[in-house]
């Protein structure tokens, strides 16, 4: 089991299984009812953070790479470019169970609450 501070995870690179950069972790979303980190908010695209798209990625969908201190997400750049994300000024309702269910289905992970 690994226990890390949130500040250690913020800024960590996220890569595809092929090693291509998909972005980096910008924030962590915590379910205060369960005390679990439910989602990592991953930033993808844009230039110097401008025009980038944000994605809520279930923490279970990220695999830690101890060698280079990054995470792997089983997807491609092309899939992320076409995926539903959000921008920094329009965050989704993270408490909406139907939204959460759709996110977990997209990343093929079991819901963190179940």
Q: Does domain 6-106 fall into CATH 2.30.30.240? A: yes
> Within 10 A of 109 (CB to CB), how many other CB atoms are there?
16
Regarding pTM above 0.95, the answer is no
Q: Where are the domains of the chain?
A: 6-106
Whether the CB-CB separation of 20 and 5 falls below 8 Å is answered with: no
For 22-43, give the secondary structure using H, E and C: EEEEEEEEEECCCCEEEEEEEE
35-57 per-position pLDDT tens digit? 999 999 999 976 655 668 999 99
3-state secondary structure (DSSP) of residue 64: strand
Whether the CB-CB separation of 22 and 14 falls below 8 Å is answered with: yes
Dihedral (CA of 17, 69, 1, 94) sign: negative
At 49 the pLDDT is: 56
Whether the CB-CB separation of 74 and 20 falls below 8 Å is answered with: no
pLDDT in tens, the chain (114 residues): 478 889 999 999 999 999 999 999 999 999 999 999 999 999 997 665 566 899 999 999 999 998 889 999 999 888 888 788 999 899 999 999 999 999 999 999 999 987
């Amino acid at each position: 089991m690994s226990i890390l501070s949130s500040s250690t995870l913020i800024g960590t690179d996220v890569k595809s299984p092929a090693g291509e950069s998909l972005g980096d972790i910008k924030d962590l979303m915590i379910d205060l009812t369960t005390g679990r980190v439910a989602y990592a908010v991953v930033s993808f695209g844009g230039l110097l953070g401008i025009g980038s798209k944000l994605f809520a990625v279930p923490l279970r969908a990220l695999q830690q790479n101890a060698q280079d201190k990054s995470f792997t997400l089983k997807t491609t750049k092309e899939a992320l470019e076409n995926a539903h994300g959000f921008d920094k000024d329009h965050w989704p309702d993270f408490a909406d169970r139907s939204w959460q269910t759709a996110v977990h289905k997209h990343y093929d992970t079991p819901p963190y609450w179940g």
